[in-house]
Structure 1
Amino acid sequence: MVLRPAGDANGRARLIGALVLVVAALTVTALSVGWIWTKADAVMPVSLPTGNSGLPTVSPSVKPSETPPPRGKVLGAQIVAANKDTMPIMGSAWTTTGERSGQFGGAAIWLTVHENYNAEADWGNFVSFGQLTPTVKVASTPAGLKAAATQAGARAISGLYGEKSTITNVTHRAITVDGHKGHEITARVAVSAPKLKETYSTILVAVIDRGDGTAAVSIGDIAGSTPTWIEVWRTKVSGIKINR
């Protein structure tokens, strides 16, 4: 699993505004582009009352703050996504950690396998639960779910290990969770780090069709020396509940 500092507990969006003066008409055209967040790069001027109105003057160039992305939480024995989907945690020894596998509205848990292995960081197992961003529409077909799982897996590996990771032993299979069709991918990611005995980690991806064009996602990242956690992850995935 990707390292974290020892002792640690835990698209771009834009709005292009064009102001065009045509005789007496003022038209604003905006194009919003992004993966999760949206912010404005320009806003339409607003006429303010004359005299001492007590209202502060606001420059038209002021940019509104970014809307923070939704986040899930670990509550008791459940990982609760921002949309209220739930997944059982892996076990009581697992603790809350930062989500870094590309989930939308997700949360994550962690189990240390090699504590302070290089005098700077821990190495361990990681599991997250959330969903693909709603801007990516998921087709409710075997091919559509496979494509969604592939995308979720690529985002997770990039976030956890980097884009140049070596991937082998890839498997695919159809799954059904809480009455919803889904797709599972497993793969090995090569690991090479000084003072670390691990040579690979197993990446696990489960995508579940929510029935509304979005998908619930669980990512598992299991150290090669702890394969028994793979079946535990599958058991916990089978316990996912989709909020209807």
Structure 2
Amino acid sequence: MGALVLVVAALAATGLSVGWIVDKAEATSPVALPTGGTPLETVSPSVKPSETPTPFGKVLGTQIVASNNDTMPIMSSAWTNTEERTGLWGGAAVWLTVHSNYNGKKDSWGNYTAFGQLPPDIPYKNSAAGLKDAAVKIGGRAISNLYGQNPQIMKGTTHKVITVDGHQGHEIVAKVAVKVPQLPETFSTVMIAVIDRGDGTAAVSIADIAGSTPDYQKVWRYKVTQIKINK
């Protein structure tokens, strides 16, 4: 995954800060009030309020903390906070650069791990089949978000039943072909773990690991075993 998304995210975050300062300044500036004529326009109470914003998690110290306070340890201290872009609900993510400036245009390619909840628009049932189906759906969404609408999934996708913090789960491992000019990678490994929370919802962790760094697959699996479900 290129650094362009990270740069855009950083600029977006900066823009929000600047916007807040401008809005605050305008709010404290003198404003001429109308003295007569047409009264101020009011908003009809029948207008529906906007939808509740999607919740988000955060990285606190060595933990990825979902919006519902489920936690997953970060991969290592070398990984840094980044934007969650796999489509999780109330999630957060960390990033590790593997190839910096690989094309001479300051683009970077690296490893990515996100943690959060299964989005409410994905149907979920607490059963072996329900966990597998949810993992397939959120995994497909994550791969599309990370690699576009027509990713090339390589042969050898695996499924595995797991148990995390006493809760049943399902793991999927798939390889996605990578064809990026000047990038010394031919594939990435995408790993998905969906874990039943016991309340009709599920926790999710997704990792995107560069093919040249397979050891991080074991690290991710170990960190998944350390996920704690907030009860």
- Give the structure-2-normalised TM-score: 0.81
RMSD over aligned CA atoms reads 2.0
- Aligned: 1:91 with 2:76: yes
- In the alignment of these two chains, the number of paired residues is 200
Question: Is 2:122–2:137's contact at 8 Å kept on the other side of the alignment?
Answer: no
In the other structure, the counterpart of 2:197 is: 210
1:216: Cα distance to partner? 0.3
CA distance 1:96–1:131, shift in 2 (3 Å):
same
1:162: Cα distance to partner? 1.0
- Aligned: 1:79 with 2:78: no
Question: Is 1:137–1:213's contact at 8 Å kept on the other side of the alignment?
Answer: no
Q: Residues of 1 paired with 2:190 and 2:121: CA distance?
A: 24
Question: Is 2:74–2:223's contact at 8 Å kept on the other side of the alignment?
Answer: yes
1:133: Cα distance to partner? 1.5
In the other structure, the counterpart of 2:213 is: 226
- Structure (1/2) with the larger strand percentage: 1
Q: Give the % identical residues.
A: 63
In the other structure, the counterpart of 2:25 is: none
Larger Rg: 1
In the other structure, the counterpart of 1:163 is: 149
5 Å-filtered alignment, 1:94-109, equals 94-109=79-94
Q: Residues of 2 paired with 1:238 and 1:228: CA distance?
A: 16
Note the residue ranges of structure 1 that are not aligned, 5 or more in a row.
Answer: 11-53
5 Å-filtered alignment, 1:13-52, equals none
Q: Residues of 1 paired with 2:224 and 2:208: CA distance?
A: 14
In the other structure, the counterpart of 1:174 is: 161
- Structure (1/2) with the larger helix percentage: 2
- Give the structure-1-normalised TM-score: 0.77
Tell me the alpha carbon deviations over residues 186-232 of structure 1, each in whole angstroms, 9 at most, x when there is no partner. 01000000110100000000000011111100000000000000000
Question: Is 1:87–1:241's contact at 8 Å kept on the other side of the alignment?
Answer: yes
Q: Residues of 1 paired with 2:145 and 2:6: CA distance?
A: 21
